[in-house]
Every structure is written in structure tokens, then in C-alpha cells.
Structure 1
Amino acid sequence: MLAVLRPFAWFYEEFGLVSIHQAGRNAYLTILARSCRMFAYGICSLILALFFAELNFSDTRIGLFMTLTLFGDVILGSLLTLVADRVGRRRILFFGSFLMVLSGMSFAVFENFWLLLFAAVIGVISATGGDFGPFRAIEESVLSQLTTPKTRADVLAWYVTMSSVGSAIGSEVCGRVIHALQTRYGWELVEIYHALFWVYSATGLVNAALMLFLTEACELSALDNNKAYSQVPQDDERASLELDAPESAGLTLSTGDNQSTNLPTSGRSSLTRTPFGIQRYWKSVGTWLSLISAPTLTVMYKLWFLLALDSIADGMVPYPLTNYYTDLKFHPSKSTLGDVQSVAYFLGAASSVFAGPLARKIGLINTMVFTHIPSSAAVLVFPLPGSLWMTVILLLVRAGLNNMDQAPRSAFIAAVVKPEERTAVMGITSTLRTLAAVTGPTITGLLAGHDRFWIAFVAAGAFRLAYDVGLYVMFVNMKLYQHERGSVVDGVEGREVVEDHEMTEMEDLASATESTVSEDSYKGSK
């Protein structure tokens, strides 16, 4: 019996399932909710551009729609993420699910371009098949809070993996439903697309229901309470805490000896004092940035620039436009397109499983770079093949390796920022990525209208490769986990967790050296 169970035990440990178990029920629910949401996005990624083409909208209008929808995601996502820690992360996630329901219902009923655009801008519709909007930044912040540096990459890897499975199932079901309703029952394509948007809306209801089962442990207040009651600062720590957290930026904690300590609260008290409207939004953005420490901003400015470059590329050739390009060039059946995209998503899901173990072996940055380069190269040469099967192979290479950098990227961001800064940093990251992706569909739409669709793929591939190279050059020697007590990582890229008693020595070393050191120099100094 032990011999039979040994492979399962090895898989359970090596591929990070034990990490999800340790994270608890909230992690399961968060991963399940995103899987359901990505099921709906998988439907959108296959039919959205085809739906507009069936309604005889021009290529320029299709590109404009996706651009303005992404711009709406920027505003909506940043606004909701700004107030998530104050209002409550679970409430914001529930509200986002409700907006998803409204958008799906609008697309299921209306055919007017401007009404659909309005519903997409103020609601939640996936214009690119990606997870933009308010969800992902908050969910990644929640998962980062529920995990430790040792388990975080594994949990985030499964978060990405299961989302890819959801997208794959959505695309496959969508393609099969279109084929069955069209051939067996004689439905018109527009009618089928409307019906599928009802499915999108129903998935939003399921997503909202799952949010009701999340517990208080998902909120930032749980982190504050943990600091307050299990890590009450000693006398020699109070001064530094008071310097790091001014009264205007946090809450005051009584330590029981007629003294008080200020704990950062990600700007919640400041947000409550700002007026409503645009002024409140920009003041909130300024407050948000001001509460992020200077060392964190130094790192994130470089990373945000690179991520913006990658997002511009993704915005130029998202999966809906890639499917549209393939349909224009080779005219395959919709079920074939659905099968291809489903297989692509399944490959992405399968490869994402290996992201966590690979990151433990070679490091977060190396995993991000060396798995993403082949995917970028596949985008670069995507227009070259003259046959459908070669084009499909390139699409499978692109999609199969495209997701392996997502979990390490989220783990990397969580590793270089303070715990109380994560929601803000991840929210800004999501906003900037979406904002950078805004211009992409419009550019591609204009190129498609002038029979230069292929240029978008070449440019996107070049941008993605520049992102990969820049990521390696700037961050391969970055030290991680310097802000998490009891779990500091030894050496560059952090591959081994050390115990609490080594914390002081490593913090002293970090303060006496530059923020990025090579593994050899660090071990030599130690």
C-alpha cells in the first residue's frame, strides 16, 4: 500500500498541493472563484470579436471597443482596488461579480454598438480573454497574505493553473455549443452568441456566491490584528514603528502601558477623509503611492516599466484578435477554433503546474524569463506559416508557456514589498498593465483594416522579448523576503528558508549592502 501511495505523496509534496492545504479554505474558494470566472472569460475570448464581426461592425470599431473596454477596466479596477482594504476585500469581489452579471445580461440582449460599449466600460467583460478589472490584484493580495514565502509560489501557481483550466473548458464548451446549435438545431450565429452571454452572466452569479463563503482572514484587518496581538513591539521597536507609520496613515494601537503604536493600514483613514468624485480618486492615488516605501518604489518603477511593455504586446494580439486573424486567414469552423483554443489553455494549465517546483529549483526570475522567451518568439513568427496546422503549433507554443511566468511574478512582487503594501502595489500593477494594454487593440484594428494585421504580431513579439531580457538584466540578483519576519530567504532568488534566529544577521547584512547582491558575494559575506 505504501508503494502504491508513494507517487501520490510525492506529487502532493513536490507540486505544491500541500501548500494549498496549509493555506486553508479561503485559498480553495479564491482559486475556485477565479476558475469559474475564467470559464466565462474563455467563452468571451472565443466569440467576442466574432460576435462583432457577425453584427457587421468594422475592424476599426472592434479595435476601438476593446481599447475603450480596457480603459474602463483601468478606471474601475483602480477605483475598486483603492478602497478594497478599507471597504473590505470580500465586498469588492462580490460587487465586481455583480457587475459581471450585468455586463453579461447586456450582451445577451442588445446589439447596438454603443450600448454594448457602455455595458463593457462600466461593467466587467473580458475584452481580451485576460483577467483584467478588480479581481486579480485583490485575490493575489489575499493569497499572499494567507501563505508564507515557502508556500506562496506553489499556491499562486495553482491559482494560475486552475484559471487556465477554466479558460480551456470555457473555450471547448463554447466551440461545441456553437457547432451543435448551428448544425443540429439550425440556430443563427448571433442567436448562439446571445445565449452564450447568458452563460457568462450565470457564471458571474456563481462567482458572487463563492465570495459569500470567504472569512475575515482574507481582510487586511486580519493582518493588522495579527501584528497587534501576536507581535506587539518591544520598547526598542516602537520608535522605528512610529517613524514608519505616521498617525495620518494608520490606526493607533494601545500596548497596555499608556503608550501607543501606529500600525500602517494602507491608507484607509486617509481615504475616508477624501471627498467623493474625481478629486477623491486622484487624492487616493497620491495617498496610495505615498504609503508605499521608497525602497519598494525603487524596485517597482523598473518592474512596472517592463510589465507595461509586455502588456502593450498582449493588448495588440489578445486571444480574441488572434482567433479573428486565424479565422480571416484560414476560415476554419468555429468548433475547430474552439478545440484549438481549448487545447492551448489546457497546455497553459499543465505547464503552470510546474511553475512552483521550477521556481524552487532555479528561482523566480529565471522561471519567468526562460519559460516566457519561447512564447514570445512564437508570437513574433506567428504570421509566417501558410498552413493552418503550423499556425496552430505556434499558437500552442505561445499559450502553453505563456502562463508560467504569472505565479512567479506575483510571488516576486509579494517578496519585495511589505505585507501591508501588497494590495496597493498589486492594484497599481494591475492598473498600469491594463492601461498599457489599452492602445494595443486600436493599433491592431487599424492595421487589420489596411491588410497589415501581421505587423501587430511582429511588433508584439519584439516587445515581449525586450521584456524578457530586461527582466533578467534588472532583477536576476534581487534579494527577496526581507520584510517577512521568520521567513527570510538565503541568497539570490531565495531558494531556502532560514529560521527566526538568523533574521537579525540577515537584516543587518541587507542594511549594510546594496539592495541587489549576487549569490556568491552574499554567501561570502555571511
Structure 2
Amino acid sequence: MNVLTSSNHSLVKCKGAVSRVRVVIETWRGIGRLNPVAKTLILTRFMRSIAQGAMGVDFTLYLRARHWSAPEIGLLLMAGGLIGSLLSLWIGISSDRVGRRRFLLVYEAGLALGTLLVILVPSATLLVLVGGVFGFGRGANGASGPFAPAEQAWLAQVIDTKRRGSVFSANAGLQFAGMGVGSLLAAGLPHVLPVKDGVMSYLPLFFLTLLVAVINAVQIYRMKEVRADTQSSTDAVNRSHQDEKILAARDSTLEDQIFNKFDTLPDAAEQERSARRRENGALLRLSIVNMINSLGVGVIAPLFPYWFNVKFGVGPEAIGPVYAVTFFLTAASSLLVGRLSRTYGLMRAVVIPRIAGLALLIAIPFSMNFSVAAVLYVLRSIVNRSSVGARQAFGVGLVRDSRRGFASSLNAISWTVPAAFGPALGGMLIGIGSLAEPFVAAFALQLAYIVLFPLLLRRYTTEAV
């Protein structure tokens, strides 16, 4: 009997493994069938995530090697968030009007130039300026800083609505894989140059960022963009032709046609106002829950390498592999969440992983050694970050294509502004020797997010697909 039970368990495990492999294969095939613009956007974000993965591990350690204190590091990370917030709303709205390609091109070219200046003139002022604008050390999972709303809106525009949830989850999975590659590089980059100076040993980190920015700039320059308003105009023309055929077929007087034409104008205007009110209400609710969540995440997440270093005395050789394992496993779980979103809906795909992540988060500061803390961190990051694609798909699905740049920028602001203040608060707490309180604050805020997200946004689950 025990043998049969054991065999059944083994069979179930094998089926589960086969199912997971099928998810990966289907995801890769799905990406391969995307149009060239979507594939290039996904590729450039993957490349960007490699550089950001290395920067996410080593940047705060680099600043500590330059004798920056925890509060100073927190303020720099806060500056990056605030600068990004100020720019992202304008960029998102402008990208709806003038296109998205040029903004991404400006981002990559500016990142390349700014990083080159930091390499040549590594002054504190220049580091604050470039690091603030481009979010050094914030671990943005491949996002293009304040230009991310344009990038996200462009990707949503070129993907079919029914596939958006799975493609965004697959995109998130690739981003995490890139962050994992970058985290592995972070463990070895400080040992590439034969120098003893702790500050100079981190120089390859900036060379990697420069190289990726140049490659991405070339890729984006070669892309072609069909603007959303052009597509809308084409659709409007087609609808107009259809209407003309219908009117021509009707046996009605000219006066009736004129009357019907003017009679439909108020109805159309009212429908537009009603649609905007509905969309604005959804965006307001999403912004509220995003602000609570982002403040909770920002209190400790960007400072984890610094916290590990202060708490356990470990460096990039130990932290880098932990981050790499985290991102690789998160990439796999993101693909599974993509299937979860198709099966159970985006709402459950967002909430369920966050509940498990909350329990793991509060256990980390009470770990007795680095190994235990690292395992808890890995598990927490997997379940927490795996819902990123589902959250992105939910957000862009709340509005029509013509407003997705605005929605993405508003979503970015509601995330980046509170998240910007998080590291300053966390750095202040760590600076006075309090290593557990940042986790307690993060726990309380993220618990509120888990409760409020379904409470405020459940009514929009049928629209955000």
C-alpha cells in the first residue's frame, strides 16, 4: 500500500514537472510569435535588467566603500524616485500625443552619456545627478526609469488584448532572469580589475551599464512605431465608411439624416465622458493601493544589500549569488503566474502570492545567521515579485489604448513617489542601529495593500484583461 502511495506521489510530481516545462515552452513559443516591435521591446528590457541586476547588488556597497552613511544612501535613492516621478507623468502624457519611440531613445542615450561621465569624473555631485535621474541601485527589473510609462504603453499597444496578461508575465519573467544574470556578474565584477582600492574595484559595474545602454539605443533607433492615434484614426475612417454605406442604403430624407447626425453627437460626447469617469475612478483607486504598497516595499527593498552587509558582514561575493538565485526562480514563477492569471484572473494572481510573501518578510530580521535570512529573502522575493506582470497587465487594462501612456505614468507616479521616501526612512532607521523596525513598517503597509487591493478594485476585474 505504501509502495502504491509513493508511486502515486512520484507520478503527481512528474506530471507537475512536465506541466511546468510545458508552461515555459508555450511561453517561449508565444514570445516568438509576437510582432517585431514587441519582441524588440522585450529584448531591450531584458538587456537593461542585466545591468540593473548588477547595479542593484553592488551600488549601495559601492557607496559604502566611498564612506557614505545609510541615511545618505537612502536620500540618494529617494532623490532617484522623486526625479523619476516628476518626469514620468509628463513623459506618459506626451508619449500618447507624439509617440513613444523617441522617449526611449532619449533614455538610452542619456544613460550612456551620464554613465560615461561618472566613469570619467566620479564626483559626488555628478553621481547624485546621474544616479538620481536613472535610478542607480533601485533594482527596477529592467524598467526604463521615468520613461517606463512610454515603454509600457507601447508594449501594451502592440499586443493583443487576450494575450496581454500572459505576455506581460513572460516579459516580467525575462526581466527577472536578466536581473539574475546581473546579480551573478555583481559577485565577480569587483574582482575584474587588479586593484586594491575598494572604490575602483566597482568600476566595471559602470562599464556594463554603459555597454547595455549603447546596445539598446541602437536597437530602439532601428525600430518603427505606429502611433496609437494613427490606429484610432484608421479605425474611425473605417467606421465612417461603414456608416456611409448604411446611410446610403436607407430610404430616408436629407432632413432625417441631418437630424440623426446631430442627435448622435450629444450621445457620443456623453459616452466619452462616462468612459473617462469610469477610467479615472479605476485609476484613482489603483493609485491609492499602489502608494501604500510602494511605501512598504521602498522602506527596505533597495537597502537589502546594505542591510545584509551591516547585519552579517557579508559582501558582494555572498550577496550576488543570493540575488541571482532569487531572480532566476522568480522568472520561473512569473511564467506560472501568467498561467494563473489566465485561469483564475488577474486579481487572484496579484493577491495570493503577496499573502505568502508577507509572512516571509516579517521573519527575515529575526534570522540568526545569513544563510537563514538569505533563504527567507529568496522565498519572499519569489512569491512577491512573481505578480509584477499580472499587476502591470491589470493596470494597463483599466483604460483604452489612447490613454495608456497617461495611465502608465499615473501608475508609475503612485508607485515611485512613496517608494522614493521609503529608502530615506529605512536608511534613517538603519543609521541609528535599528535593523528590525524597517521590516515591521514594511509588513504593516503591505498588509494594508493586500486588504485594499481586492476591496477597491474587484469591480474592475472584468475590464482589466
Q: 2:58 aligns with which of 47, 59, 81?
A: 47
Q: 2:346 aligns with which of 348, 364, 371?
A: 364
Q: Secondary structure at the match of 2:145?
A: coil
Moved more, 133-142 or 333-342: 133-142
1:88 aligns with 2:99: yes
If asked which structure has higher relative contact order (CA below 8 Å, sep 6+), I would say 2
Q: Secondary structure at the match of 2:206?
A: helix
- Which residue identity does 1:211 align to in structure 2? I
What count of residue pairs does the alignment treat as equivalent? 430
Q: Secondary structure at the match of 2:199?
A: helix
Q: 1:210 aligns with which of 202, 205, 219?
A: 219
Change (3 A) 1:13 1:41: closer
Equivalent residues in 2 for 1:345-364 (5 A)?
345-364=327-346
Change (3 A) 1:336 1:14: closer
Residue equivalent to 2:411: 429
Residue equivalent to 1:129: 139
Displacement after TM superposition at 1:132 (Å): 6.0
CA deviation vs aligned residue, 1:428-473 (integer Å, no higher than 9, x gap): 1112211111111111111111101321112112211211121122
1:301 aligns with 2:284: yes
Q: 2:157 aligns with which of 145, 162, 166?
A: 145
Q: Secondary structure at the match of 2:397?
A: helix
Displacement after TM superposition at 1:75 (Å): 1.6
> Does structure 1 conserve the Cα–Cα contact (< 8 Å) formed by 2:396 and 2:404?
yes
TM-score, normalization by structure 2: 0.85
Equivalent residues in 2 for 1:217-228 (5 A)?
217=226, 219-228=227-236
Residue equivalent to 1:165: 177
- Which residue identity does 1:85 align to in structure 2? D
Identity %: 23
> Does structure 2 conserve the Cα–Cα contact (< 8 Å) formed by 1:313 and 1:437?
yes
Residue equivalent to 1:389: 371
Structure 2: distance between partners of 1:480 and 1:412? 10
Residue equivalent to 1:32: 43
- Which residue identity does 1:430 align to in structure 2? A
Residue equivalent to 2:127: 116
Change (3 A) 1:230 1:405: farther
Q: 2:116 aligns with which of 105, 112, 116?
A: 105
> Does structure 1 conserve the Cα–Cα contact (< 8 Å) formed by 2:192 and 2:204?
no
1:314 aligns with 2:297: yes
Residue equivalent to 2:250: none
CA deviation vs aligned residue, 1:195-216 (integer Å, no higher than 9, x gap): 3112212211111111123222
Displacement after TM superposition at 1:291 (Å): 11
- Which residue identity does 2:283 align to in structure 1? M
> Does structure 2 conserve the Cα–Cα contact (< 8 Å) formed by 1:347 and 1:400?
yes
Residue equivalent to 2:436: 454
Structure 2: distance between partners of 1:189 and 1:308? 37
Residue equivalent to 1:497: none
Structure 1: distance between partners of 2:441 and 2:419? 14
> Does structure 1 conserve the Cα–Cα contact (< 8 Å) formed by 2:345 and 2:461?
no
> Does structure 1 conserve the Cα–Cα contact (< 8 Å) formed by 2:24 and 2:335?
no
Q: What do you get for the CA RMSD once the two structures are aligned?
A: 2.8
- Which residue identity does 2:393 align to in structure 1? A
Structure 2: distance between partners of 1:240 and 1:306? 38
Displacement after TM superposition at 1:237 (Å): 9.0
1:175 aligns with 2:166: no
- Which residue identity does 2:293 align to in structure 1? D
- Which residue identity does 2:181 align to in structure 1? I
Equivalent residues in 2 for 1:225-374 (5 A)?
225-232=233-240, 234=243, 293-319=276-302, 321-374=303-356
Change (3 A) 1:13 1:37: closer
Change (3 A) 1:292 1:134: farther
1:188 aligns with 2:197: yes
Moved more, 446-455 or 107-116: 107-116
Displacement after TM superposition at 1:192 (Å): 2.0
Q: Secondary structure at the match of 1:354?
A: helix
> Does structure 1 conserve the Cα–Cα contact (< 8 Å) formed by 2:282 and 2:460?
no
